[in-house]
Amino acid sequence: MRGPEQVAGFMRERGVSGEIITLSPSAAKTSASAAQAVGCDVAQIAKSIVLKGEQGLYIFILSGDKRVDLARASAIVGEKLSLAKPDEVLARLGYPVGGVPPFGHAEQVKTFVDKSVLRFEEVFASGGSEDTLLRIRVSELLRAVGGVIAEASR
């Protein structure tokens, strides 16, 4: 299983600026608990939602106050999507659901940043486990994941 070390390694290798913050156990498992742990609004939590289609897995990074709209996400990628199962997320990406970071996965995944995240200068994403967060500027997040902006939330 991968963790914060792999996220930090990805950041070092690619010159990505950000800070991994260690919290109490499971403090970052949900957007609400993560926001409470760092004292920000739940909307400032950038959650990674893993979706599955016939062509593979996709990650949609959404603001913590939004939900993924499967019809919109499916239209964006051009195939019918559903939520990936937790065991598949762990097996293919190397991280448990609730700890999936925006980058540093075991396999390459097409990643989209929802427009809802663009409201902020800085967000908190998973740092690779249920007890870590990654504080990162949105501009840096976009650069690290390839900068594909989408509108897939409701």
Query: How many domains, the chain?
Result: 1
Sole residue written with tokens 């996400």 = 73
pLDDT for 28: 85
The tens digit of pLDDT for each residue in 108-123 reads 999 999 999 999 999 9
Please choose, from the candidates 108, 91, 93, the residue with its C-alpha nearest in 3D space to the C-alpha of residue 50.
93
Q: Mean pLDDT over all residues of the chain?
A: 96
The tens digit of pLDDT for each residue in 28-66 reads 888 999 999 999 999 999 999 999 999 999 999 999 999
Amino acid at 47: K
The tens digit of pLDDT for each residue in 89-110 reads 999 999 999 899 999 999 999 9
User: What is the pLDDT averaged over residues 13-23?
Assistant: 97
Place 154 in a pLDDT band, splitting at 50, 70 and 90.
very high
Angle in degrees, CA 5, 153, 77, rounded to 5: 80
Assess contact for 57 and 49: CB atoms under 8 A: no
pLDDT for 114: 98
pLDDT for 27: 86
pLDDT for 108: 92
Domain range for 84 is: 4-150
Cα gap 122→59, rounded to integer Å? 19
The CATH number that applies at residue 89 is 3.90.960.10
pLDDT for 26: 82
pLDDT for 147: 78
Q: Indicate if the pLDDT at residue 133 is higher than 90.
A: yes
Cα gap 24→64, rounded to integer Å? 20
